[in-house]
Structure 1
Amino acid sequence: MRILSSIYSSFLSIISKLFWLFELFLFLRLLLKFLGANSQTLVVSLVYERSDVVIAPFSFIFRDIYWKGHLVEMSVISAIVGYAIAAFIVFKILRLFSRD
């Protein structure tokens, strides 16, 4: 039984780390847009293309704003918050199945 608990704990740890990498990826997009990164470069275009899919459900919830001449994508901020809430709920549900 202790082995299953260890596997379960490792599984939760891996999922948690993947979530934080995902959130970091979204923050990278937010930062690149804010700084006005050249979307013609390979790395920036790759970040934009890959993140378009995951922010699509949050598009047009709020209008994008400009702060001191820099673009602040509200859809990305909404996605970061929305996915954080979803992850919190999922982890709470998964912890219900834990015997610890």
Structure 2
Amino acid sequence: MVLEHALLSVNPGEEDDFEAAFAEAKEVIAGMPGYQYLTLSRCLERPSIYLLLVHWQSLEDHTEGFRGSTQYQEWRRLLHHFYTPFPTVEHFVQVQSA
């Protein structure tokens, strides 16, 4: 399993609109091959910062499958205008747990 990590800096004052758009966008990603689940969390200290974690079966399911799809274009349309700056997306594999 691969964990996608993105720290989303939402334009201040647009948090409610972002959360509404994300509710729609999560339906877009949910049907993608290799998608397992996601969580979106809001920072308590900096309320315009969100942490997006998406679990994929493989790196390629995200980088090639999702990002190369027409569904990704809808995801972009719904969400990308909320970010300043545009987030860095990184991928992780678990090495330990407790």
Specify the TM-score bucket, using the shorter chain as the normaliser.
under 0.3
**Greater share of strand:** 2
**Greater share of helix:** 1
Q: Which protein has the larger Cα radius of gyration, Structure 1 or Structure 2?
A: 1
Give TM-score scaled by structure 1 length: 0.26
Give TM-score scaled by structure 2 length: 0.27
